[in-house]
Amino acid sequence: MLDRFFPALLALALGLASAPAMAQGTEVSFGGLKADTGLPVEVTAESLSVNQADGTAIFAGEVLVKQGEMRLQAGEVKVEYDATGKAIDRLHATGGVLMVNATDAAEAAEAVYTIASGEVVMMGGVLMTQGATAIKGDTLHINLKTGTGRMEGGVTTTFMPGGN
């Protein structure tokens, strides 16, 4: 498993030697968070409020969003529809957001998932775990289609040498 993360960890270790590189962010592989963004999105919650005027729906209370193997949990998720009002454009999750898929997990204060592009931006005290490896930062950008991402703002990491 470490061999999957080795290139990212090597880049991170080399980046530690240069403060400007760290200030710009760290590119990392999020293969475990790769997802099929064309699959149906299922949302469960304790309540739902719909606003026809602005084309939004708000799920509240133990919200769980499923898309294939990807799971996103939050206290509240605002669903925004596209201009036609027929397709979901993006999800804005707040209140202790947790996103998991396969071996990777990420948590933050809030997240915005743009469905068509497969882009997820997690903000506020982000913690990404990949097995024994943990990466912290202010903002995490993930492309679910490619399984790639970028952590920015005060990036720190902890990992176990030798795959232990």
Closest by Cα among 38, 124, 35, 26 to 74: 124
Closest by Cα among 23, 31, 24 to 6: 31
> What is the predicted pLDDT for the residue at 87?
82
Domains of the chain by range and CATH? 2-163 (2.60.450.10)
Closest by Cα among 113, 130, 107 to 28: 130
Per-residue pLDDT of 102-140, as tens digits, reads: 778 899 999 999 988 889 999 999 999 887 788 999 999
When pLDDT is averaged across residues 33-49 and rounded to a whole number, the result is 83
Percent of the chain with pLDDT over 90: 40
Which band of pLDDT confidence, cut at 50, 70 and 90, is reported for residue 32?
A: low
Per-residue pLDDT of 61-76, as tens digits, reads: 999 998 888 899 999 9
